[in-house]
Amino acid sequence: MPFEGHEIRIDLMCGKDAEGRPHGTFGLNVDARALRRLGLHPGQPSSVVDGPSPPAWWHAAGERYATRSVVRRRHDGR
């Protein structure tokens, strides 16, 4: 495992929602030094925007693609 026991913390938060039903969630915290050891740090190129945002049509096409129904193909490719 990439982390030592003292480098990671998991917090469990439980309670009841507005209707009285049980509700739970958890939080995961990792020591920044442990992340840096894995090469994850603010100075790495992917952690900052390095160019303009794609055009609006590109985002709309991505949303259409993500929400369309899945069409199953036959084994012969048709």
What are the tens digits of pLDDT across the range 14-48? 999 889 999 899 999 999 899 888 888 777 766 56
With respect to residue 34, please indicate whether it lies within any of the assigned structural domains. yes
Domain that holds residue 1: 1-45
Q: Which is it for the CA torsion 28, 31, 35, 40, positive or negative?
A: positive
Please give the model's pTM, rounded to 2 decimal places.
0.46
With respect to residue 71, please indicate whether it lies within any of the assigned structural domains. no
54-72 confidence digits (pLDDT tens): 888 988 888 888 877 655 5
With respect to residue 2, please indicate whether it lies within any of the assigned structural domains. yes
Q: How many domains does the chain have?
A: 1
With respect to residue 41, please indicate whether it lies within any of the assigned structural domains. yes
Q: Which is it for the CA torsion 27, 28, 33, 38, positive or negative?
A: negative
With respect to residue 72, please indicate whether it lies within any of the assigned structural domains. no
What distance lies between CA 20 and its chain's CA centroid? 29
With respect to residue 62, please indicate whether it lies within any of the assigned structural domains. no
SS3 state of residue 69? coil
With respect to residue 73, please indicate whether it lies within any of the assigned structural domains. no
CA distances in angstroms from 21 to 11, 26, 27, 53, listed in the order given = 20, 17, 20, 42
